Homo-oligomer: A and B are copies of this chain.
Amino acid sequence: MSYQPLSKLKIGILGGGQLGWMLILEGRKFPFEFYVLGNKDEPACKIADKCFSEDQYKELVDSSDIVTFEFEHVSEKALDYAEEKGKLYPRINSVELKRERYKEKEFLRDHGFPVPRFYVANDGEEALKILKDEFNNEGVLKQSRGGYDGKGQYFIHGDVDKYQFIKDMKCKFVVEEYVNFDFEASIIATRSRREFKAFTPTFNYNEKGILVYNYGPYYNDKMIEIADRLTRELDYIGTIGIEFFVRGNEVLINEIAPRVHNTGHYTLDGAETSQFEQHIRAIADLELGSTRILSPSGMVNILGVGEVPKDVLKFGKVYWYGKSEVRKRRKMGHVNIIGDNLEDVKEKIDNVMKLIYPQGLDL
């Protein structure tokens, strides 16, 4: 092997949210510069070397050596232009699966990955009909476009009357069996041009479609095999998050996120390499780091509150995203937790939950 220096790269990030913010926090150790497409008051833009507004996407792509995205629902024009210039990692094929939820579902099913039983409906009326005919009015209706964090999703348990408004909706839906899971889990993995490495999965607790907390390690080889094969079949480069329902011995993919993922934030403190550094290593064509978990660990999301009590620091590390405005359900920050063992982690999560949400969660 000839000598190859660690080059001084310019990395463009599409999206200015907390995922971009953490990519930069973790990427700063490298001799790289970070350009962000987003609004000036967004977390990632505030710490970027340069912030580009949405209409300057060509300028951002042209001045970057490689381009990635912190979130798949960002400017399609920017994503497409970066792909056209051969700079986008992961490639556009993974983003396209997320533009329409039914494409993601069909891709997974058609490639033999385990998913809940589902049908695609062309509009709300058809969706409700399928729900009745195929699922006896017990199931989940998901708008095909643009849904995340529980947005555009309807969990129906016989109470179809409440959901008649869906009949008038003219968009595509995915109609899916309601999975009576034992628990939810996810895996964070990274593929580069030469390597695949996965973090140990975690147990996740979601409420109303939003992750509240997660912790691990949760050992599950099936998930590692799925992440390995899926990233191979997508020709994926970067970090990916895959969410699962676990029911007995069975794992079903709930959804994939072609980017760093909320359930991987604990890796900032609990793993030898973080999911963010790993993503940057992959897209910059560098050796991947070790994914060894250094200690059982977890994370609690700070949702919809404008501050946290100091005492939280007794149990964990606060990551405060510095968003300009508090909104209900908005991810304002998170707390990473390290424990001596899983029980210790869970106890600390309980303590942090009580401190952040003294009146209980309001989602």
Contacts and interface: CB of A to CB of B under 8 A. Distances in A.
Contacts of A25: 25, 28-29
A326 interface: no
Interface residues on A, range: 35 or more
Contact of A269 (B31, B272, B295, B310): B272
B286 A31 contact: no
A205 interface: no
Contacts of A292: 295, 338
A294 interface: yes
A76 interface: no
Nearest to A293: B294
Interface string A93-107: 000000000000000
Interface string A161-203: 0000000000000000000000000000000000000000000
B313 A286 contact: yes
Interface string A4-31: 1110000000000000000001001111
A324 to B, nearest CB: 12
Contacts of A310: 4-6, 286-287
A289 B317 contact: yes
Interface string A313-338: 11001111010000000000100001
Nearest to A288: B313
B29 A311 contact: no
Contacts of A287: 310-311, 313-314
A300 to B, nearest CB: 14
A314 B197 CA distance: 14
Interface string A280-294: 010000110110101
Contacts of A318: 6, 29-31
A309 interface: yes
B338 A308 contact: no
Nearest to A295: B294
A273 interface: yes
B29 A320 contact: yes
B317 A31 contact: no
Contacts of A5: 307-310
A311 B286 CA distance: 8
B272 A295 contact: yes
Contacts of A3: 309
B30 A320 contact: yes
Given A29-B317, A47-B28, A6 B312 contact: yes
Taking each of A4, A29, A272, which has the highest tally of chain B beta carbons within 10 Å of its own beta carbon?
A: A29
Given A4-B309, A5-B308, 7 more contacts: A3-B309, A5-B309, A6-B310, A6-B313, A30-B320, A273-B317, A286-B313
7 contacts: A1-B311, A6-B310, A6-B312, A272-B338, A287-B311, A287-B314, A294-B295
